[in-house]
Structure 1
Amino acid sequence: MNYGAINIDPETMGGTPVFTGTRVPIQALFDYIETGETLDEFLENFPSVKKEFALQVLKMASKTLTTEKSLYENFA
């Protein structure tokens, strides 16, 4: 399944969500942010990830975590 910036395919990394067109797990972006690194540092270390895709993923996360309905459906 392709969700724009995110691709989920059992044949790629066992179905782990990755950035479209890469084998870079989405989780890697959040790991970088969690440790205080910047988006630019992430992109420098993963040059196959398009900046627009990284920004789309962050926007998707923001929408998921700032909407009560989405929070209830996903985390309640």
Structure 2
Amino acid sequence: MDWHDHITLDPEIVSGKPLVKGTRLSVEFVVDLLAKGWTVQDIAENYPGLGRQEILACLEYASETLRAQRVYPLAV
């Protein structure tokens, strides 16, 4: 799956946070629900604009973003 098919960035909506296309629901919000123990089914039932593919795309986006993150120690 390619998260690009389901996730968009629009500086005019939710301060430019990554969103599920066609919604105002941020990737951050969806990942937070999963972290709180919601299942894919729970989310899909409560947010009809989200299906399994959109939820997995949020996780893929988060995973790719974290893989790209680099931390460099400061010299002391």
Would you call these one fold, judging by a TM-score over 0.5?
yes
| TM-score, length-scaled by structure 2 | 0.70
Mapped to 1, the partners of 2:59 and 2:16 lie a distance apart of: 20
- CA displacement 1:19-53 (0-9 Å, x = unmatched): 01111111111111111111111111111123212
Query: CA-atom RMSD, angstroms?
Result: 2.3
On the 8 A contact 1:24/1:46 being kept in 2, the answer is no
Q: Percent identity?
A: 31
Give the unaligned 5+ runs of structure 1.
Answer: none
Does the alignment pair 1:75 with 2:70?
A: yes
For these two proteins, the number of residue pairs brought into alignment is 69
Partner of 2:20: 19
Greater relative contact order (Cα 8 A, min sep 6): structure 1 or 2? 2
| TM-score, length-scaled by structure 1 | 0.70
